[in-house]
Amino acid sequence: MRGTQTINSKGHLTIGGVDTVELAKQFGTPLYVYDTALIKERARQFKSAFSKHSGLKWQVAYASKAFSTIAMIQLARELDLSLDVVSGGELYTALKAGFPPERIHFHGNNKTQDELELALQAGIGTIIVDNFYELQLLNDLCRDRNQRINILLRITPGVEAHTHEFIMTGHDDTKFGFNLDNGAAEKAVRLAMEASHLDLKGLHCHIGSQIFETEGFVRAIQLIYEYIERWSETGFQLEILNVGGGFGIKYVESDHPLFIEQYVDKIVAAVTGESERLGMAVPEIWVEPGRMMVGEAGTTLYTVGAFKDIPGIRKYVAVDGGMTDNIRPALYQAKYEAILANRAGEQADEEVAVAGKCCETGDILIKEARLPSCSSGDILAVFCTGAYGYAMANHYNRLPKPAVVCRLCRTRRSDACCPP
C-alpha cells in the first residue's frame, strides 16, 4: 500500500479514505484514481530538499506531459510549482487552468509557428530552444512582434542514463537538443547571444527517465561545465541550469529508487562544486519532475471479465481496459503490480497474465501477476499508473477513454478531471 491506500472493514482497497469499489460502481471502469495527498507530499519533499541549501535559487517545474488536466494544473498552481509544457495543447490546458504564464516553460523538438505565437501572446516565462530552426524562427517572430523572450538551450550531453532505450534522451544519437561534442551547442550559444530579441539565460539537459542513480546527473553537469569553460571567450553567463527530470519511482518490488533529497543533494553539490571550480556564480537550478510527482499517486481500476487457462503454460485474466488506457507495457515493457480491490486482504495464491481487451496479442498489462483466484466481476487495481497512463491514452479499437477521479473532482466537479 502507498500514500493513503488502506483496506477497510469490507476488505476493500481505499484511497484517501474513499472505497475504490464504490468508485468503480459510481464512475465505471476502467477508471483512473488519483491520491492528491501524495502529490502534495511529493511537491513538499522537492521544496524541502532545495530549501535546506541556503542562498540557492531554484525552481521545481511539474512536467505536465506525465498527466495534464485542468484540475492537475490547478493543483500545481496551488502548490506554487512552475510548469513544463511540450505542446500547444498542454500550453492551452495550462492557460485554461489559470496557471501563471510567467512560470511556464515550453519544451519540444518541433514547435510550430502557431505554438510559438501562442506562447508569445500568452507571455510565458521561458522557451527551451531545441534546434537551429527554432532558434531562428523564434527570433523572427519576436522581432515581428517587437517582443523579447527568455530562452534556455537544450543541450545533449552524451550521457546514457540507465533506463529503457526508448526513454533515454541524453545520449548522442537522439532527436533532442544541441550536441556538445560536435560543436552544435557552442554554435547555438553564439547565435543565441547574437539574436536581437532572445535573452539566453542558460542551458537545459534531460538524460532520461526512470533513473535510479545520481551518477548520470552528476556526469552530465560536469560535462556541461567542461564545455562552458571552453566557451569563455563568448562571454556566456550561466544564469539558469535546468537538469530536467527522470527521477525513478517504485513500480514493482524490485525497483529501488532513491529518496528525492538524495537526487537533489547530488545535483546541488555537482552544480555548486563545478561553479566554484570555474569561479562562477552558482546558477539557479531547475528540475522537472513528472513521473515522480504523480506516478505513484495514480491507480487504475478495471473489472475482470473473461478467462483462458492453458494448462502447463499460462492462465489469462482479461479486464475491460488495456493498451488504450496504459500503453506502457506494450511500448516499454513496463512492469506493474496489482491486487483485487474488492478482496484486498486476501492471499495472492495464483500467478496469471492480466490481458487487455484490444485486438492485439501484445495487449498484456501484467505478464506475471500474483493475485487471489479471480472471478468475473472482481475489481482489479493496478498501482502506480499516475504517469503516462491518461496522458498516453488512445481510442484504438474505438474504445472510450476512462474517467479520472481525485479529491479535487469530488469537491469541484465543474472544472475538474472527470468528463461530465
Instruction: Give catalytic residues, as residue numbers.
Output: 359
Concatenating the DSSP letter of every residue in 253-303 gives TT--PPPHHHHHHHHHHHHHHHHHHTTPPPPEEEE--SHHHHTTTEEEEEE
Nearest to 130 by CA among 230, 203, 239: 203
CA separation for the pair 43, 294 (Å, rounded): 10
Q: How many CB atoms lie within 10 A of CB 411?
A: 8
Q: How many CB atoms lie within 10 A of CB 254?
A: 7
Which residue is associated with the grid cell 501524495? 38
C-alpha cell at 284: 539557479
Q: How many CB atoms lie within 10 A of CB 4?
A: 17
Strand pairing partners for 298?
Answer: 34
CA separation for the pair 187, 194 (Å, rounded): 11
Inter-residue contact 228 to 278 (CB < 8 Å): yes
Measured distance between the N- and C-terminal CA atoms of the chain, rounded to whole angstroms: 30
Nearest to 292 by CA among 83, 1, 31, 41: 41
CA separation for the pair 246, 346 (Å, rounded): 35
Q: How many CB atoms lie within 10 A of CB 377?
A: 9
Strand pairing partners for 58?
Answer: 285
| Degrees, nearest 5: CA angle 282-284-289 | 130
Inter-residue contact 341 to 379 (CB < 8 Å): yes
Whether the ω angle into residue 372 lies within 30 degrees of 0, i.e. cis, is: no
